[in-house]
Amino acid sequence: MELRLKAFRPPYLDLEHSGSRPRIIYPTSQAKIGYSQRFSVRFAVAGNVSLDAVVVTTVAPPFNTYSFSMNQRLLVIGGGTVVKVGNSAYAAQAVASGSRNLVQAGYYMLFVVHQGILSEGIWVLTTIIRI
What is the pLDDT averaged over residues 64-71?
80
Which pLDDT score, from 0 to 100, does residue 4 have?
84
* Higher pLDDT among residues 6 and 33, named by residue: 33
Which pLDDT score, from 0 to 100, does residue 30 have?
94
Work out whether the CA dihedral 103, 104, 105, 108 comes out positive or negative. Answer: negative
Residue 119 has pLDDT above 80, yes or no: yes
Show Cβ contacts of residue 5 under 8 Å, excluding neighbours closer than 6 positions. Answer: none
What are the residue boundaries of the structural domains of the chain, listed by start? Answer: 20-127
- Per residue in 36-65, pLDDT tens? 999 999 999 999 899 999 999 999 988 887
Domain 20-127 bears CATH identifier 2.60.40.10: yes
Which pLDDT score, from 0 to 100, does residue 130 have?
53
Q: How many Å apart are CA 23 and CA 4, to the nearest integer?
A: 35
